[in-house]
């Protein structure tokens, strides 16, 4: 198990592409209230399922807000623009499952490194996202 902290996000990898021969990436994510989160984006090569563990995380999927509370889930097909935020006063936790496992923990490690000295350079974050096949869509609402 590996834990990676990026500002108000805490990612705890349970399985990754590296230990599942590319079958799955599975991680718990804790999102603090009003944490800085990624821009709206989509994945070119994997689907994502998000399952609520605690608190309320608001997922914006294809233009629709969906409150993910404990026991609720959302499926995000590859190519669908999505983002998330925590508007509540308490931390929210979810389990994310990416299939197939293509992203891995290395993306989050590199993002944490970029953010370690304060707000990261937007151009460097965009390059990192593109390298890992995450496509930012900053004008999406």
For position 117, what pLDDT does the model report?
Answer: 80
The closest of 101, 113, 79 to 125, measured between CA atoms, is 113
What confidence tier does 65 reach under pLDDT thresholds 50, 70, 90? Answer: very high
| Domains in the chain with CATH codes | 2-136 (2.60.120.10)
Phi-psi map region of 133: left, alpha, beta (phi>0 left; psi -120 to 50 alpha): left
Structure confidence at residue 78 (pLDDT): 96
More confident position, 120 or 49: 49
End-to-end CA distance of the chain: 34
Q: What is the pTM of this model?
A: 0.91
């Amino acid at each position: 198990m590996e834990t990676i902290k990026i500002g108000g996000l805490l990612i705890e990898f349970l399985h990754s592409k590296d230990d599942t021969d590319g079958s799955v990436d599975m991680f718990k994510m804790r999102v603090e209230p009003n944490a800085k989160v990624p821009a709206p984006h989509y994945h070119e090569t994997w689907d994502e399922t998000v399952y609520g563990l605690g608190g309320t995380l608001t997922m914006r999927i294809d233009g629709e807000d969906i409150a993910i509370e404990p026991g609720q889930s959302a499926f995000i097909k590859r190519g669908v623009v999505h983002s998330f935020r925590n508007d509540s006063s308490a931390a929210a936790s979810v389990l994310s499952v990416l299939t197939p496992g293509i992203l891995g923990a290395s993306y989050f490690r590199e993002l944490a490194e970029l953010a370690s000295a304060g707000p990261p350079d937007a151009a460097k974050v965009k390059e990192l996202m593109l390298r890992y096949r995450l496509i930012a869509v900053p004008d999406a609402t």
